[in-house]
Amino acid sequence: MKRRRMEIIFLFIIIAAVYVILFTQVSIDMKLFFMGLYIFVMFVTMFSLMLENRFAHETLLWMYVLLFFPVFGYVFYLFSGQLYLKGYLYQTKRKRDRAEWKSLVKQVSAPDLSFLNNHQQSFAAFAKNASETTISTSSKTEVLKNGNETFTEIIKQLKKAEKFIHIEYYIFRSDRLGTEIIDILIEKAQAGVEVLFIFDAAGSLKLSNNEIKRMKNAGIKAFPFSPLKNGFFNQKFNFRNHRKIIIIDGEIGFVGGLNVGEEYLGRNKEIGFWRDTHMVLKGEAVYMLHTVFLLDWEYVSGEDVLQERPELKSEGGKGDGAVQVVASGPDTQQGIMSDFYYALINNATESVWIASPYFVPNQAIKAAIKHAAVKGIQVRLMVPAVNDGFLTQYGSRSYFGELLQYGVEVYSYKKGFLHQKLIIVDGDIASIGTANMDMRSFHLNFEVNVFLMGSRSIGDLISHYKEDMLDSEKLDPIEYNNRSMLERSKESFARLFSNVL
C-alpha cells in the first residue's frame, strides 16, 4: 500500500511538472526545479523497473514508454505494466490460504498412484509438488457438454439439496436462467438449507440489486468479490474472480467454463451457439473444490468457517483414475496455472490437443508448443472463428503464423462461440476448468481447474473434441501467410496489449 501511495504521488508530480514546464510563464528557475523533479521521478521509476528483473526487451519497452509518453506513459505503466506484480494486494489472503491448505491436506492420506502409467506418473509427480492440493484416487467425474446438459443437471441437483448450497460465479445474470436458479436458491433457503453466494463485482454487473436484495431477504448470504468502488487506485478492479463453483451438501461439485446467463444456453441471437464444457465432481475432489470456495468465502465475508465444518472430511471410496483440483490467482503461487499447462505440454509424447477461446500464450507456453511440434508430436489448437472482442480476436491470431510454421494444426471453430478451456495430452491426461491460455488467467484472475489422469472422462473429452473438429476449419499455412497487410496490422496492434488480454 505504501508503494501504491508513492506511485500516485509520483503521478501527480509528473502531471504538475509537465503542466508547469509547458503551459505556464513561471521563471526559468521554477521550470528547472520541476524538470529536476520530473527527472528524479523517472529515474526512481526506471530504476525500480530494472530491479524487477523482467525480460530485457520488456524492461526496455516500458522504459521507452515512460520516456516518450510523459504522462500517458506513466499512467499506462501503472495500470498495465505492473499488473502481474500486484500480488501484494492479496498477501494476507495468500498467506492465510496456504496455511489452511497445509492444515487440510494433512487430513488426506497420500494416494497410491502405482496404477498410473509412467507417462501419467511423471506429470503426477510434478502436480503433487507444484500445488498445495492433493491428488485424489477416490473421486469420480462426469463431463457435461454445453449449456443444456450443464444447467439441466445443476438445477436437478440444486432441487435435491438438503444441507447447503455454496455457489460462486464470475458472471451471474438476472435473466430467465439466472432468475430460475435464484428462485430455487430462495426456496431452499426458506426451507432451512444454508445458501452462500459469491459473485464477481465486475463480471456480474447485470445481476440486479433487486435480485440480490430478494436473496438476502430470504436468508441467503451473498457477497460481491472485489467491489469496484474499492479497487480503482489499488488496481483491485483488474483482479477478477473467474471461478465457477457449485457445491451441494459436500457430496457433489460443479466446475467448468459456463457462467449463468441465457447466452450460455445459446439463446443470444448476436452470439449464437455457445460451445462449452462443464464437469461434475463426486468424492474426495469435492472436498478440495469446496475448500477453494470456503477460502474465498472467508475473504469476502470475514467469517472463519473452514475448520469448523465436519462435512469437509473425506469419506474415501473407489474412484475413477486420479483427479486434482488446482486453484490459481493472486492468492496462490505466482503463475501456477501457467506452470501446470507448461508441464502438461512438455510431458507429451504423442499428442497435445488444446481448445481455448482466448489464446495469448506466454513465452514458456509458446516455446513448449513449438518444441512439442518440432519433436513430431501432434499439436492441435482450436479457437473460435469469431471472438467477442477486437483485441482478443486479433491478439490470438497474431500467434498463428509462427505456430503453423512449426507444424501446429490450427482449427477455427465455425459453429458458434467456442468457450471451453481444455487440454488433452496423449489421450490419457487432461485439464478442464476456468483458466484460459492467456496472460489474464495466468497472472490476474482467480481460477480453478481439474486435472485428470487415467480417468474415463478423458474419453468423453476426446470424443467431443473430434466432434468439434467437424465444425471447424483447419487453417492452411500458405493461405494464412498470404493474408492482407490490413489483417497483419490488426494482429500486430492487438498483440501490443497481450499482457492484459
Residues recognised as catalytic:
242, 244, 249, 419, 421, 426
Task: Name the residue among 337, 426, 342, 420 with its Cα closest to residue 379.
Answer: 426
DSSP H or E run through 351: strand 351-355
* Rounded-to-integer distance, Cα 125 and Cα 253, Å: 25
451 φψ region: left (φ > 0), alpha (ψ -120 to 50), beta (else) = beta
Q: What are phi and psi of 323, to 5 degrees?
A: -130, 135
Q: HEC profile for 452-490? A: EECCCHHHHHHHHHHHHHHCEEECCHHHHHCCCHHHHHH
**Which residues, other chains included, contact 426 with Cβ-Cβ below 8 Å and sequence gap of 6+?**
119, 348, 349, 350, 351
35 CA to centre of own chain: 43
Q: How many CB atoms lie within 10 A of CB 193?
A: 19
DSSP string, 222-266: EEEES-GGG-TTT-GGGS-B---EEEETTTEEEEES--BSGGGGT
CB-CB contact of 57 with 72 (8 Å): no
Q: Cα(first)–Cα(last) distance of the chain, in Å? A: 25
Q: HEC profile for 289-336? A: HHHHHHHHHHHHHCCCCCCCCHHHCCCCCCCCCEEEEEEECCCCCCCH
Amino acid residing at 472: S
CB-CB contact of 195 with 273 (8 Å): no
Q: Which residues are paired to 203 by β-bridges?
A: none
**Which residues, other chains included, contact 287 with Cβ-Cβ below 8 Å and sequence gap of 6+?**
108, 250, 312, 313, 314
Residues in the chain: 501
Cell of 348: 507429451
In 105-179, at which residue ranges do the beta strands (DSSP E only) sit? 135-136, 139-145, 164-169
Q: How many CB atoms lie within 10 A of CB 111?
A: 20
**Which residues, other chains included, contact 251 with Cβ-Cβ below 8 Å and sequence gap of 6+?**
282, 286
